[in-house]
Amino acid sequence: MESFKFNTAIASMMEYTNFLYKIYEEAKISKKLWNESIRRLILHMAPIAPYISEEIWNRIGNNNSIHLQNVPEYNDLYTISENITLVIQVNGKVRDQIKVSSSIKEEEALRLAVESKKVQKFLINNTIRKKIFIKGKLVNIVAN
Protein backbone atom coordinates (compact mmCIF):
# COMPACT_ATOMS: atom_id res chain seq x y z
CA MET A 1 0.00 0.00 0.00
CA GLU A 2 2.76 2.44 0.90
CA SER A 3 4.32 2.16 -2.56
CA PHE A 4 0.92 2.53 -4.32
CA LYS A 5 0.86 -0.99 -5.73
CA PHE A 6 -2.91 -1.18 -5.67
CA ASN A 7 -3.21 -4.15 -8.04
CA THR A 8 -0.89 -6.15 -5.80
CA ALA A 9 -2.83 -5.10 -2.70
CA ILE A 10 -6.15 -6.06 -4.27
CA ALA A 11 -4.75 -9.39 -5.48
CA SER A 12 -3.49 -10.16 -1.97
CA MET A 13 -6.88 -9.38 -0.48
CA MET A 14 -8.54 -11.65 -3.06
CA GLU A 15 -6.14 -14.47 -2.13
CA TYR A 16 -7.00 -13.91 1.52
CA THR A 17 -10.73 -13.90 0.71
CA ASN A 18 -10.40 -17.17 -1.23
CA PHE A 19 -8.46 -18.69 1.66
CA LEU A 20 -11.17 -17.62 4.10
CA TYR A 21 -13.91 -19.14 1.91
CA LYS A 22 -11.96 -22.39 1.71
CA ILE A 23 -11.47 -22.80 5.45
CA TYR A 24 -15.06 -21.71 6.11
CA GLU A 25 -16.42 -24.35 3.72
CA GLU A 26 -14.19 -27.00 5.30
CA ALA A 27 -15.37 -25.91 8.77
CA LYS A 28 -11.79 -25.34 9.91
CA ILE A 29 -12.43 -21.99 11.57
CA SER A 30 -14.30 -20.96 14.69
CA LYS A 31 -17.00 -18.30 14.55
CA LYS A 32 -14.88 -15.94 16.67
CA LEU A 33 -11.82 -16.31 14.42
CA TRP A 34 -14.03 -15.99 11.31
CA ASN A 35 -15.45 -12.69 12.56
CA GLU A 36 -12.00 -11.35 13.42
CA SER A 37 -10.69 -12.37 9.99
CA ILE A 38 -13.55 -10.56 8.25
CA ARG A 39 -12.94 -7.46 10.38
CA ARG A 40 -9.26 -7.44 9.37
CA LEU A 41 -10.09 -7.92 5.70
CA ILE A 42 -12.46 -4.94 5.80
CA LEU A 43 -9.85 -2.85 7.64
CA HIS A 44 -7.35 -3.53 4.87
CA MET A 45 -9.96 -2.78 2.20
CA ALA A 46 -10.79 0.64 3.67
CA PRO A 47 -7.98 2.69 2.08
CA ILE A 48 -8.73 1.26 -1.37
CA ALA A 49 -12.53 1.10 -1.24
CA PRO A 50 -13.52 3.55 1.51
CA TYR A 51 -17.27 3.84 0.95
CA ILE A 52 -18.13 0.15 0.60
CA SER A 53 -15.79 -0.70 3.49
CA GLU A 54 -17.58 1.82 5.71
CA GLU A 55 -20.96 0.34 4.72
CA ILE A 56 -19.86 -3.26 5.40
CA TRP A 57 -18.23 -2.16 8.67
CA ASN A 58 -21.52 -0.71 9.88
CA ARG A 59 -23.57 -3.71 8.71
CA ILE A 60 -21.45 -6.14 10.73
CA GLY A 61 -22.34 -4.21 13.86
CA ASN A 62 -19.67 -1.55 14.36
CA ASN A 63 -20.90 1.92 15.29
CA ASN A 64 -17.65 3.86 14.85
CA SER A 65 -16.23 4.72 11.45
CA ILE A 66 -13.82 2.17 10.01
CA HIS A 67 -11.46 5.06 9.24
CA LEU A 68 -11.00 5.70 12.95
CA GLN A 69 -9.75 2.15 13.61
CA ASN A 70 -6.13 1.11 14.01
CA VAL A 71 -4.80 -1.10 11.24
CA PRO A 72 -2.85 -4.14 12.50
CA GLU A 73 0.92 -3.68 12.36
CA TYR A 74 2.99 -5.90 10.10
CA ASN A 75 5.46 -8.12 11.98
CA ASP A 76 8.11 -10.22 10.19
CA LEU A 77 8.16 -12.73 13.05
CA TYR A 78 4.77 -14.07 12.00
CA THR A 79 5.79 -14.67 8.38
CA ILE A 80 8.91 -16.76 8.88
CA SER A 81 8.48 -20.13 7.24
CA GLU A 82 10.48 -23.25 7.91
CA ASN A 83 10.49 -24.21 4.23
CA ILE A 84 10.70 -22.17 1.05
CA THR A 85 10.45 -22.85 -2.66
CA LEU A 86 13.83 -22.23 -4.24
CA VAL A 87 13.67 -21.32 -7.92
CA ILE A 88 16.46 -22.76 -10.04
CA GLN A 89 17.37 -21.00 -13.27
CA VAL A 90 19.79 -21.87 -16.02
CA ASN A 91 20.88 -18.83 -18.03
CA GLY A 92 18.05 -16.80 -16.53
CA LYS A 93 15.24 -19.22 -17.41
CA VAL A 94 13.34 -21.12 -14.72
CA ARG A 95 14.13 -24.83 -15.00
CA ASP A 96 13.05 -26.20 -11.62
CA GLN A 97 11.63 -25.32 -8.22
CA ILE A 98 12.55 -27.25 -5.09
CA LYS A 99 11.31 -27.16 -1.51
CA VAL A 100 14.16 -26.53 0.92
CA SER A 101 14.71 -25.32 4.46
CA SER A 102 14.57 -21.53 4.79
CA SER A 103 17.95 -21.67 6.54
CA ILE A 104 19.70 -23.39 3.62
CA LYS A 105 23.29 -22.33 3.05
CA GLU A 106 24.60 -21.21 -0.33
CA GLU A 107 26.82 -24.26 -0.88
CA GLU A 108 23.93 -26.68 -0.23
CA ALA A 109 21.55 -24.73 -2.48
CA LEU A 110 24.06 -24.69 -5.32
CA ARG A 111 24.71 -28.42 -4.92
CA LEU A 112 20.98 -29.23 -4.99
CA ALA A 113 20.50 -27.01 -8.02
CA VAL A 114 23.22 -28.75 -10.01
CA GLU A 115 21.97 -32.21 -8.94
CA SER A 116 18.39 -31.53 -10.06
CA LYS A 117 17.41 -33.83 -12.93
CA LYS A 118 15.43 -31.06 -14.60
CA VAL A 119 18.49 -28.80 -14.51
CA GLN A 120 21.07 -31.39 -15.52
CA LYS A 121 19.70 -31.75 -19.05
CA PHE A 122 20.44 -28.05 -19.64
CA LEU A 123 23.99 -28.43 -18.36
CA ILE A 124 24.98 -31.33 -20.64
CA ASN A 125 27.89 -30.31 -22.91
CA ASN A 126 28.01 -26.91 -21.21
CA THR A 127 30.52 -25.41 -18.83
CA ILE A 128 29.23 -23.70 -15.70
CA ARG A 129 30.62 -20.17 -15.82
CA LYS A 130 28.92 -18.67 -12.79
CA LYS A 131 26.54 -19.58 -9.97
CA ILE A 132 24.35 -16.89 -8.44
CA PHE A 133 22.55 -17.46 -5.13
CA ILE A 134 19.92 -15.12 -3.73
CA LYS A 135 19.05 -16.29 -0.23
CA GLY A 136 15.50 -17.47 0.15
CA LYS A 137 14.66 -16.96 -3.51
CA LEU A 138 16.73 -18.46 -6.28
CA VAL A 139 19.81 -20.05 -7.76
CA ASN A 140 20.86 -19.01 -11.26
CA ILE A 141 23.45 -21.05 -13.11
CA VAL A 142 25.17 -19.38 -16.05
CA ALA A 143 26.45 -21.99 -18.49
CA ASN A 144 27.52 -22.19 -22.11
pLDDT, tens digit, 9 for 90 and up, residues 70-105: 877 888 777 767 888 999 999 999 999 999 998 899
**What integer is the mean pLDDT of 104-121?**
93
Which sequence spans correspond to the domains of the chain? Answer: 6-77, 83-143
Fold of 83-143: Ubiquitin-like (UB roll) (3.10.20)
Q: What is the rounded distance in angstroms from the CA atom of residue 121 to the CA atom of residue 138? A: 19
Kindly report the pTM of this predicted structure: 0.52
Report strand pairing: 83-90 vs 138-143: parallel
**What integer is the mean pLDDT of 1-18?**
83
Q: Indicate the helix (H) or strand (E) that contains 130.
A: strand 128-134
**What integer is the mean pLDDT of 13-21?**
92
For residue 9, the model assigns a pLDDT of 87
Query: For residues 98-128, b (16+ Cβ closer than 10 Å) or e, as one string?
Result: bebeeebeeeebbebbbebeebeebbeeeee
Greatest Cα pair distance, the chain, in angstroms, is: 70
**What integer is the mean pLDDT of 136-144?**
92
For residue 74, the model assigns a pLDDT of 80
Q: What is the pLDDT of residues 30-77, one digit of tens each?
A: 999 999 999 999 999 998 999 999 999 999 999 999 999 987 788 877
Q: Is 127 helix (H, G, I), strand (E, B) or coil?
A: coil
What angle separates helix 50-59 from helix 31-45, to the nearest 10 degrees? Answer: 150
